Amino acid sequence: MELRGAVAVVTGASSGIGAATALALHDAGATLVLHGRDTARLAELAERTGGAVVTGDLADVAAVPALAEEMLARFGRVDVLVNNAGVGWAGPFGEMTAQDVRRVVDVNLTAPIELTRALLPALRVRPAARVVFVTSIAGRTGVAGESVYSAVKAGLDGFAESLRFELAGTAVRIGVVVPGVVDTEFFARRGRPYERSSPRPVPAARVAAAVLRAAREDRADQYVPRWLRLPVLVRGVLPGVYRGLAARFGGSG
């Protein structure tokens, strides 16, 4: 897919992977619709990229259809949707409140499903269109202390895979980018910083590059870094071995 001149919506563009993806898409010649909650950061990014700003909290799922209408109205069409926005929560599951659970589920799973549903008719009439989901290795292997986050990312993976089958033969292609630990503010915001010495966090720009590949080259799955595919394969082929290694070397993020 040619990204120059394409209209691309990026959710969670205020910082981290979303901001890096917006900059990469801008460099590729795309026209941007920048979504997020931090109006000051979005305004700064819009000044750098010429993008249009749409603010909104995806935890308010009922407002997602109106949010989609505003995104579509900015340029009259959408060619690329990058479902990137997400929130984390780290700690023992028993310490989560019902409100904590609801926010993690709504922002990471319900909102991207609803936003995709709302924008899909506009995407389907384009000669070529892409929907890219930024998930997490936590959704493919499970992570201690992030049970709900792992569950919703696994759910998003399942949704993307099913939608890929459903849209086969149409102009809309589905891509999934599966990052590991990324050097962003995400870990501080989830309530527990990342303190492990290995694996080392990768720059957000590496994930953004994978998003662009997913859009340009119609790639179904990409791991960042690529070696993360190995534990997923081991888990699928030798689940007992995988669980033993995870228990020994630590399965917490």
Residues 61-104: tens digit of each pLDDT:
999 999 999 999 999 999 999 999 999 998 999 999 999 999 99
Position 188 scores a pLDDT of: 61
Q: Which residue has the tokens 């109006």?
A: 39
Distances (CA, A) of 101 to 64, 83, 159, 252: 19, 20, 19, 18
With a pLDDT cut of 70, the percent of the chain lying above it is 90
The three-class DSSP label of residue 106 is: helix
> How far is Cα 148 from Cα 145, in angstroms, rounded to an integer?
9
Position 253 scores a pLDDT of: 53
Tens of pLDDT, residues 103-152 = 999 999 999 999 999 999 999 999 999 999 999 999 999 888 899 999 99
Amino acid identity of residue 106, one-letter, is D
> How far is Cα 58 from Cα 66, in angstroms, rounded to an integer?
11
Q: Is the pTM of this model over 0.75?
A: yes
- Are the C-beta atoms of residues 209 and 165 closer than 8 Å to each other? no
The vertex-6 CA angle with 4 and 11, nearest 5°, equals 120
* Residues carrying an active site annotation: 149
The three-class DSSP label of residue 53 is: strand
Residues whose CB falls within 8 Å of the CB of residue 142, separated by 6 or more in sequence, listed in order: 150, 246, 251
In the chain, the domains with their CATH numbers are 7-249 (3.40.50.720)
